[in-house]
Amino acid sequence: MITRLAGVRVDTGQETEFWVVDGRVTYSRVAGEQTVVSGWILPGLVDAHAHIGLDAGGAVDRTTSRTYARADLAAGVTLIRDLGSPADLRWAHDEPGLPRLITAGRHIARPRRYIRGLAVEVEPEDLAAEMRRQALAGDGWVKLVGDWIDREAGDLTPLWPVEAVREGIVAAHAAGARVTAHCFGEQSVFELVRAGIDCIEHGCGLDADTCSLMAARAVALVPTLDNWQIFPGLADQGEARYPAYAAHMRALYARRTATIRQALAAGVPVYAGTDAGGTRAHGTLGPEIAALAALGGPEFALGAASWRAREWLGAGTLDEGAPADLLVLPRDPRRDLTALAAPSLILLGGVPYGPSNASGTTATPSRVR
């Protein structure tokens, strides 16, 4: 069946008309029997920081990963950047009915300096070699743990000497991958941006100078802002043994709005991600979009979760010949973000999915992968 879509493209604000043929977009008029869908047309959503291969207990099986990914698809997410999984997710690339997936292999951390069972653990002298291995194992990204609680110091400290990270970034780049890092504190993000990293996750400790450097170098930020709500709980858990850490986490949380406003004002490229997996449920990109909209406005937040994120990740939007990954909405989300919660249509590779069929029970396999 040929689908004709008509309405307003949210990314351009322009009236449009195009067809979906064999799972791809074409602006050349097509004859024959057609299904006509109209509304506000949005390039498929992107969760730029999620984990479908793990939960709070570590690696999950394929059935659980499918459940997580389908919950994201039901929320309109057609592309996931999975930022670290102890489970091998290569099988998911060819599985019908799942969002498209960009993986980063496993987290890389130092021994006993991260959540047990999630990361591959190496010492600094082996970091560059491991970053190259993970670059080859993933889809163009490598994920470092930039900082975590140091039990001897009783607070957040960086995991890596700067020179080791710099050598690792060079190795990852030579293997064709970009590098990102989990950073809560101030020192890690300060050092990693100057070492040549491509992206920062969370970025709670950003200062004005680092934001300016990120903007100049086009270093991206995925703040997972809505997930910062866990910080007070983390502080409470650590209070008795690590009071300095607890105070630090509360301070980062208290200035969260000012931190991200500072990044936006500097021109840092910001994208939407949930950090789903572990403590946060999948299918929750909507609250993250709303949190970003509260700081930068609805159109900014939509771009951070849709067309700008897709361009950043090389996924394309709605150009001629592109895979038909999109949402059709009943009203303009730039005026009413709640429209995202009830799309008229979700297409993945031209195949319709939605809350009733994203579980995979009735969906037709996509022919475009």
Give the mean model confidence (pLDDT) for residues 139-143.
97
The CATH number of whichever domain residue 25 belongs to comes to 2.30.40.10
Give the mean model confidence (pLDDT) for residues 153-162.
98
Quick one: 323 and 199 in the same domain?
no
Quick one: 30 and 93 in the same domain?
no
Give the mean model confidence (pLDDT) for residues 136-144.
97
Quick one: 96 and 123 in the same domain?
yes
Cα distance between residue 93 and residue 350, in whole Å: 17
Say whether pLDDT at 117 is over 60: yes
Task: Provide the pLDDT confidence category of residue 188 given band limits of 50, 70 and 90.
Answer: very high
Give the mean model confidence (pLDDT) for residues 167-194.
98
Nearby residues of 61 by Cβ (< 8 Å), 6 or more positions away? 87
Give a yes or no: residue 365 inside a domain.
no
Give a yes or no: residue 367 inside a domain.
no
Beta bridge partners of 156: 149
Give a yes or no: residue 73 inside a domain.
yes
Which ranges of 323-367 would DSSP assign to H, the alpha helix? none
Give a yes or no: residue 362 inside a domain.
no
pLDDT of 354 reads 66
Q: Are 119 and 104 in contact (CB under 8 A)?
A: no
Q: pLDDT by residue (tens digit) across 63-92? A: 999 999 999 999 999 999 999 999 999 999
Say whether pLDDT at 362 is over 60: no
Give a yes or no: residue 363 inside a domain.
no
Give a yes or no: residue 262 inside a domain.
yes
pLDDT of 156 reads 98
Give a yes or no: residue 368 inside a domain.
no
Q: In which order are the strands placed within the sheet that holds 45-50?
A: 45-50, 77-82, 100-103
Quick one: 147 and 72 in the same domain?
yes
Cα distance between residue 97 and residue 359, in whole Å: 8
Quick one: 157 and 232 in the same domain?
yes
Q: DSSP per residue over 96-120, as a string?
A: TTS-EEEE--SEEE-TTSSSTTTEE
Beta bridge partners of 26: 19
The CATH number of whichever domain residue 199 belongs to comes to 3.20.20.140
pLDDT of 355 reads 53
pLDDT of 350 reads 96
Report pTM.
0.94
Quick one: 200 and 326 in the same domain?
no
Task: Identify the domain containing residue 10 by its residue range.
Answer: 2-43+317-353
Quick one: 77 and 226 in the same domain?
yes
Give a yes or no: residue 286 inside a domain.
yes
Q: pLDDT by residue (tens digit) across 233-271? A: 999 999 999 999 999 999 999 999 999 999 999 999 999
Quick one: 243 and 348 in the same domain?
no
Say whether pLDDT at 292 is over 60: yes
pLDDT of 338 reads 96
pLDDT of 11 reads 97
Q: How many domains does the chain have?
A: 2
Q: pLDDT by residue (tens digit) across 294-339? A: 999 999 999 999 999 999 999 989 999 999 999 999 999 999 999 9
Quick one: 223 and 289 in the same domain?
yes
- Range of weakest confidence among 46-60, 308-322, 345-359: 345-359
Give the pair of three-digit tokens for residue 55.
Answer: 């939960």
Q: Are 46 and 305 in contact (CB under 8 A)?
A: yes
Quick one: 124 and 151 in the same domain?
yes
Quick one: 8 and 103 in the same domain?
no
**Opening angle at CA 257, ends 256 and 260, nearest 5:** 85
Quick one: 160 and 254 in the same domain?
yes
